Structures are given as C-alpha cells and as structure tokens.
Amino acid sequence: NGSRLYYANLTSSFAGTFLGFEAIGVSRTDDVAGAAASVKAAWSPPVLISRQSATTFSDKEQVWVDNAATSSFFGNVYVCWADFRSDSHGRAFPTPLKIAVSSDGGDTWTVHQVTPASDNGINTQPDGCTVRTDSHGVVYVFGVANRNGQTFEAMKRSFDGGKTWSGTLQLIAPVTNAGVFDPVLGRPVMDGVAGARNDLFDAPSVDIANGAPTGGDATNEIVLTYNDASLGLNHERALLQLSTNRGVTWSAPAAVQSAGDRPLYSAVAISPNGTDVYLVYNAFTAPYQTDTANPRPLVGVVKHADVSSGGALANWSELNRGASGDARGSSQNNLVGEFLGDYVYAAATRTYGAAVWNDARNGADCPAIDAWRLSLRIGTSVPRPAPGTDCPATFGNSDIFGGSYADPTP
C-alpha cells in the first residue's frame, strides 16, 4: 500500500499554551520527494504522543517502523523516550522509559511505561534508547541503565506488537562512562576542560538484519555498539556485541575503533540480509587537556566489516576518515562550553551504507572564548567575549556531515 516516512522530534509551543518543557511530536509523509524538496504540505501536522505536565521533560526519542512484511505487526510504529518527571535536580529524579505504539499509520498512539520511574543514582532506568524489530515482529528496546550503582547496556522485548513488554530488564554488559566532571557544565567531558558534554557516550546503538522489506532473507542477527571507558581516561573504546538468538545471549564485547581514536559517540547498521556491517563514530585524537590552549582534534570515521555465515565479523576497513576539526570552535548557546550533540547515526542496505556524524572542520577557534571558558573554572577574572566582534566569523560553525559508501566486498 505504498511507503510512509515518519519523523519524530522534541517539540514545544508558544508561551501560555504549553505546560511542560518539551514533548514528543511525530509527523509523517507519503510524499518523500515533496518533503525532500521542502514542500510543507507534504508533511502531516505533528501528533503529540507524550503526556506532559509542568515538570515533565520528554527527551532522547527514537522512532522505528516494523518494516518486514513477514511480521504479523508489519507497519506498526514505535517511539521510545526517557520521561524526565521532575525539575528538583535532586537524588529523586523519576525517569521511566516510555514507548508509544501506533497501528494505524500514526493517527493514534498508545503509550506504555515499560520500566519503573525510580531513579536515585544507584538504580536508574534506561536512557538513550534505541528501538528495532526483527522479521517476526519482535520489538527490542535498548538503553543504558544503572543497577546497584553499576551501569549496564540493557534490553526489553515485546512479542505482541508492543502491547506488553518483558518484565525484568535484561542486563547485557557492564559499561563505564567517560570523562572528567566539569563543575560549570555539571556534566562529564572527555576532550578537556570546558569541553563537549558526553552524557550519552555509553548509550547503545542497535540494528537487526530483518530482511526488510520482504523479510525473506532475514538472519535476524542483532548488532550492538556503545562506548566504554573502563580502561581509564584517554583509553576509551567503541565496543561491539552480536546476538544470533534474539538477544538471549551475546558475544563478548570487541573493540572496533581504529588505533589512536578516542570514540565519543558511535552507531552501527547491518544490511537487511545480514552480510555487511557499517560503523560510524566521532572520536577525539588527542588526550584530555587541562587547559584551553591547544587544539582538540575531532574526526568522523566510517568503517565496514563482512559478516560470516556464523554471524562473526571480519575484514574491518575504514571507508572514510573525515577531515579533522578543532572542537574548541564549537559552542553551547551560552558559550560556557563546547557542544557536539548526543548522537551519530548509520543505516545499511544490501549494496551500501550511509552515516552521519558531528564535524568541526569548518569552525574556527576563538582565543577570547578559550580564555573566558578557562576563567570560569579556575576563578580568574576575564571579560565575557562578544563572539560577533571578538571571534573569527566561523567560530561556532560546527556541522553535521554525512555520506554513503558502496559495499567494498559485494
């Protein structure tokens, strides 16, 4: 019955009509060409699927459609997100994982709370979620969560099209977040003082070889990547795990970054027929820096591996290593630190892979900003710069770069 493209995003309204911080909105289009040409009428008005209050912040959403015709739930749409319910900023910060399901093309949605709300720093609920489906219609949602003070990659599944979800959160592997706590940002950074936040450094990216669109050649192998700092600062790794039995068991974590790279965010994709894997990551290529005086090189890397008949990966190669840029040339809106977002992304077909990453090559460092940012950490008095007059014109000009890459071993 044709194709439909869905778009999920954080959304807010004008003052006086919106009670919460931000909500989750989902739009869709049956006219992809028109949407790509910026025809506004090609898109439906967004449907607000999250339930908001004055203290609710819906965040870190992802949308996925069951796109394998062999599935009994073919066409179902799933959106997952973290439902931050309090602005107290204390130890009691309830944040359940929510999943919304639509079975009528995005017209109506049913929202499920699939974890408890408790979040006390010792036990937290999955954040940075990823949702996928296999060729049988099993739904998988992944996130990073704490249990008894230890952080884990975690998973839940649904076998009935998202109506019910497995009870106990399956803990796949322990993971350690990276970086040094920045007291001004209130968040960890890994490139240096006043650096780019890396909250979701350890969040999962997942894909499944579900044989879309027919489902006929599915292997249903699951590929999972995340970043880990258990070896310590400046020794961060992009780890990858595989499952060939619906997530019941997993291969041991394997480091897949190139030598000299300190991965910041990573994402993975597997071709629908399960023969090729594509990996993208952002990485810093210099150690953590205790001042703002020197460049902080950032690169985007795309890699490829072949999948054997047994599901193992082999023949890793780099398809692209982007031009290096200085992360100091990026900025939060308030200027007090760098900003590189929270994600990279990858997708795969039977003949090529595609990827997007954060890129700093077109941004210029601003020494006045460097000095001011450092002063906020060490207590010296430096006037707040005016970027329009005190900085190069391209300060803050970070970008999203992307590319498509033919299968190197067809």
Rounded-to-integer distance, Cα 126 and Cα 146, Å: 8
3 state SS of 143: strand
Residues facing 145 on adjacent strands: 152
Strand partners, 317: 304
Q: Please provide residue 408's backbone torsions phi and psi, each rounded to the nearest 5 degrees.
A: -75, -10
Q: Residue 254: what are its φ and ψ, rounded to 5°?
A: -125, 135
Instruction: Note the pLDDT of residue 227.
Output: 98
Q: Examine the domain organization and report whether 255 and 357 are in the same domain.
A: yes
* CA angle, 79 then 82 then 84, to 5°: 140
Q: Do 134 and 35 reside in the same domain of the chain? A: yes
- Whole-angstrom distance, CA of residue 52 vs CA of residue 18: 9
- Domain enclosing residue 108, as ranges: 1-172
CA distances from 81 to 9, 65, 91, 318, 397 (A): 10, 15, 21, 32, 29
Distance CA 116, CA 129 (A): 15
Furthest CA-CA distance within the chain: 66
Question: What is the C-alpha separation between 383 and 386, in angstroms, rounded?
Answer: 9
> Do 60 and 83 fall into the same domain?
yes
**Residues 162, 198: one domain?**
no
**Integer CA distances (angstroms), 346 to 30, 269, 357, 381, in order:** 23, 6, 9, 44
- How far, in Å, CA of 202 to CA of 265, rounded? 8
161 and 218 part of one domain: no
Contacts of 379 (CB under 8 A, 6+ apart): none
Q: What are phi and psi of 225, to 5 degrees?
A: -125, 150
Whether residues 77 and 56 share a domain: the answer is yes
pTM for this one? 0.95
Measured between alpha carbons, how far is 367 from 292 in angstroms, rounded to an integer? 9
Convert the pLDDT of each residue in 189-227 to its tens digit. Answer: 999 999 999 999 999 999 999 999 999 999 999 999 999
Indicate if 8 and 148 belong to the same structural domain.
Answer: yes
Looking at the structure, do residues 153 and 181 belong to the same domain, yes or no?
no
The residue from 137, 172, 207 where one domain ends is 172
Do 394 and 246 belong together in one domain? yes
pLDDT digits (tens, 9 = 90+) for 255-306: 999 999 999 999 999 999 999 999 999 999 999 999 999 999 999 999 999 9
Of 285, 287, 289, give the one whose Cα is nearest residue 257.
285
299 and 320 Cβ atoms separated by less than 8 Å: no
CATH number for position 128:
2.120.10.10
As a whole number, mean pLDDT of residues 17-22 equals 61
- 193 and 154 belong to one structural domain: no
CA distance 224 to 205: 6
Do 98 and 117 form a contact (C-beta atoms < 8 A)?
A: no
Least confident of 91-105, 165-179, 182-196, 381-395: 91-105
Number of domains present in the structure of the chain: 2
Among 152, 172, 192, identify where a domain stops.
172
Residue with tokens 């602005």: 87
Cis before 213? omega within 30: yes
Which pLDDT belongs to residue 91? 57
User: Domain check: are 167 and 181 in the same one?
Assistant: no
Whether residues 314 and 391 fall in one domain:
yes
- In the prediction, which pLDDT does 82 show? 83
Q: Pick from 126, 155, 172: which residue ends a domain?
A: 172
Instruction: Give counts: helices (H), strands (E), the chain.
Output: 3, 25
- Residue 262 near residue 192 (C-beta atoms within 8 A): no
Q: Residue 295: is the preceding peptide bond cis (ω within 30°)?
A: no
> Has residue 337 got a pLDDT over 60?
yes
Q: Does position 17 have pLDDT exceeding 90, yes or no?
A: no
Q: What confidence tens digit (pLDDT) does each residue in 346-378 have?
A: 999 999 999 999 999 999 999 999 999 999 999
